[in-house]
Structure 1
């Protein structure tokens, strides 16, 4: 009944009490006061459930369960930041022969069509990689010729040169 629900003798569920303890601990770990009295988010605010559970246990609340930490993090709007795997796109050959620097790193020109530089790169698309080779006029800083292909072959670079 309503009177029973509003009575002060109502028993609080054990899970509610334990979640409140976990929430207090997580709040202390995540938000620390700075020098001006404002709360500032700490790196622990970026942790996922497993790291946060370990931090809560280190803080002294060893009875906290993974589910309780999950619920509290959801309530506080915290979610772990995923690290992406580092992608290595180039593997250079330290013993390879390097092309000579014909312009001596001086990428300036006093008139058009006097100095062109060439390069190629790749672009990730939904269908895979697309490779693009291009030639740039140094004076105008505009692309003079370019070519795109799905394979990195000699024709990719030679076509803009023709």
Structure 2
């Protein structure tokens, strides 16, 4: 098959990761599996053009920087006044403790110490207590990098990746002392099961969620995301081999087109060489004539959950639970486009290439597939 044609929406979302969210081009290229040449071309084509008076914009930026500096110094001065009456080492310790919140130079100005003295103090050998504090800082940084969703098990695995030696119980104790908690649970919109589906297919999957090779079994489902403009509907296709989201689509209406677009993305992304079993629930989108015709045209085998039984499609339900718990329900989306950009960032920049999966041996879906490929080649 020829080179895949990415949609304009996908290109704009990819460019937004560089221009709006600040990701390096090389990192976006690695996570999305797109060449840097293509990203630069998309950036020239879709990057937003800044209009207006350049001099006025520069003045506004300068005023914003000045306001941020003054606000930071004001917030620093709100801290307990006893710190200002202590020696330099106490002030240095205060700066080290709050450097993740305030700028080092701003605190040095407020505390009347030199940044060079603070840097020299940091290079001194650390006490045992300071080493514990440093390890807590690493745990908090790993927690922040995960979007504040990881628990102590995955944080422990992150520390091991960084070369730290510690046991899970120790990490659990430090996370408790630091007030770090995993993001768990969310309220679910109650559903209804009225009416009868126009087409019912046997449950060929039968909850056999562990498969031995990629592109053997895919699961798909659809959910809603609330925005201030109204609901957006997200459809995903997940490969059970690595739990990787191989296709997704997001639209303002809950029609069969949204699930067809997600399945179409999965097909041209993965290009399966053998017949794939695609499992869904009994929703109207998956019993439509268009869906059935698409399945037959692309040599796919359809499987359906039993009526009203969410456990038959537990992997897709679990992904939606993680998405809403770790990202969607932690912020308010003003527009559908903003929600789509957030979903793109979660799936393409975090979930697939970075987020650890316990089932994958604490590897992300992309890392798991790469490792299995190397193992198969005997590398």
- The question of a shared fold, defined as TM-score above 0.5 by the shorter chain, is answered with no
TM-score, normalised via structure 1 length: 0.42
TM-score by length of 2: 0.19
Please identify the structure whose Cα radius of gyration is greater.
1
Greater fraction strand: 1
